[in-house]
Amino acid sequence: MKSKKTLFGALTLSAMLALTACGNNGSTTASGSTEPAATGTTTPAATEQPADAKVSGEILAVGSTALQPLVDQVGQKFMGDNGDVTVQVQGGGSGTGLTQVSEGAANIGNSDVFAEEKLDADKAKELVDHQVAVVAMASVVNKDTGVTNLTKQQLVDIFKGKITNWKDVGGADQKITIVNRPSSSGTRATFEKFALGEKVENVAGSIEQDSSGTVKQIVADTKGAIGYLAFSYLDDTVTALSYDGVEPTEANVQDGKYPIWAYEHMYTKGEPDGATKAFLDYFMSEEVQQADVTELGYIPVSSMKVKRDAEGKVIQ
């Protein structure tokens, strides 16, 4: 008998120790975590969701880390309105999101790029695209470069390493340092497609960073640095460049004058139904588009005067 007790004791001892530590933490975190609940209860008052749209179920949205905060925020509001629905949002990257929705492991796949660019054509065909926001980006340079505008050709030459000094494009005599994104990044794909018009390879001496915050900091701190950022990151620590003479402003994007932008996508496999459809409809409502979407630095799809297809061709 004694032996069994000792064995049991040994097995549970370490677990117990950790459990007590964890229990303490659980209670402390509980006391502090009233915040999300509080925001959850304030939203129903502000929203005017039709009462008849009673839906229930679980929605799993996986994918793009860039889009995740927006979906998360909208999801929480949606859950506040519809008590029977759970919206789970996971990051993991656009590739993961598209794969999972295509395999049926997730209800929604969040992506920075068109499914056609990441999946096989026949797999991409099964997915239905819901374009929920527009993200625009600008090339940014260190403030000391003395450049405020670059033409498409100049940008291409810089990112291909043909131009290596700012004085060649009318700036100060400083070496150009490129801050790029990983080759699989959606931001990079957008920038290459619409700003450069072609895929470019990394230039020796350039660096790759995935984080917009880091890119901004490096460009702000490093002489002669150039990178690209979504509009929501632009501030006066860096110079946002005009592109072919067009300033990077929301109005210019909406008019179709400024071309460096892309859709944020939420893909479903086949047409959505039930809770997923209700959620996506809610996402497209003006209430979300004009509030949460703009709050996070995206441009509402409804305010766009131009449209694009998967090849990037503009359809008026």
Partner 1 sequence: MENTKVVAEPKKRSFAKHHREDMIGKIYTNLCVLLLIVVIVSIVYFVASKGLSTFFKDGVSPIEFLFGTHWSPDGSPASFGALPFIGGSFVVSMLAALIAGPLSICAALFMTEIVPGKGKRILQPVIELLSGIPSVVYGFIGLTVLVPFISALTGGNSLGYGVGAGALVLSVMILPTITSIAADALASLPRGMREASYALGATRWQTIYRVVLPTLAPSLWTGVILGIARAFGEALAVQMVIGNAPFLPTSLLTSASTLTSVITLNMTNTSTGSVQNNVLWSMALMLLFMTFVFIIIVRLLQRRNKL
Partner 2 sequence: MKARTADKLATGVIIFFAILIVAILGGLLGFILIRGISHIDWHFLTSPSQNFKAGGGIGPQLFNSLFLLVLTMIITVPLGLGGGIYMAEYAKDNKLTGFIRLVVEVLSSFPSIVVGLFGLLLFVNTFGFGYSLLSGAIALAIFNLPLMVRITEQAFRAVPREQKEAGLALGLSKWKIITSILLPVALPSLITGTILAAGRVFGEAAALLFTSGMTTPPLNFSDWNPFHARSPINPMRSAETLAVHIWKVNSEGRIPDAKDVSAGASAVLVIMVLLFNLVARWFGRFVYRKITASKQVN
Binding site for partner 1 (CB under 8 A): 1-2, 65, 91-96, 98-99, 102-103, 118-120, 175, 177, 180, 182-186, 189, 199, 201-202, 204-210, 218, 221-223, 225
Between CA 122 and CA 142 the distance in angstroms is: 44
Question: Least distance (Å) from partner 1 to the CB of residue 212?
Answer: 14
Nearest-angstrom CA–CA distance, 192 and 158: 12
73: partner contacted, choices partner 1, partner 2, none (Cβ within 5-8 A by kind): partner 2
Comparison of 52 and 198: residue with beta carbon closer to partner 1? 198
Q: How far is the CB of 176 from partner 2 (least distance, A)?
A: 24
CA dist 223 and 147 (Å) reads 13
Quick one: 25 or 151, whose CB is closer to partner 2? 25
Specify the residue, 77 or 308, whose C-beta has the smaller distance to partner 2.
77
**Pair of tokens at residue 8:** 């049991």
Q: Which partner, partner 1, partner 2, none, binds residue 314 by CB below 5 to 8 Å per kind?
A: none
CB of 305 to partner 1, least distance (A): 31
- In angstroms, give the least distance from the CB of 123 to partner 1: 9
Answer yes or no: are the C-beta atoms of 185 and 227 closer than 8 Å: no
**Alpha-carbon distance 306 to 315, whole Å?**
6
What does 13 bind: partner 2, partner 1, none (CB cut-off 5 to 8 Å by kind)?
A: partner 2
Residues near partner 2 (CB under 8 A): 2-4, 6-7, 10-11, 13-15, 17-19, 21-22, 25-26, 28-33, 35-37, 58, 60, 62, 65-66, 68-69, 72-73, 76, 86, 88-92, 105, 209-214, 296
Task: Write down the least CB distance from residue 226 to partner 2, Å.
Answer: 20
Strand-strand pairing, 57-63 and 85-92: parallel
Between CA 47 and CA 9 the distance in angstroms is: 54
What's the per-residue H, E or C state across 17-85? HHHHHHHHHHHHHHHHCHHHHHHHHHHHHHCCCCCCCCCCEEEEEEECCCCHHHHHHHHHHHHHHCCCE
H or E, element range at 314: strand 314-315
* Cβ proximity to partner 1, 72 vs 208, nearer residue: 208
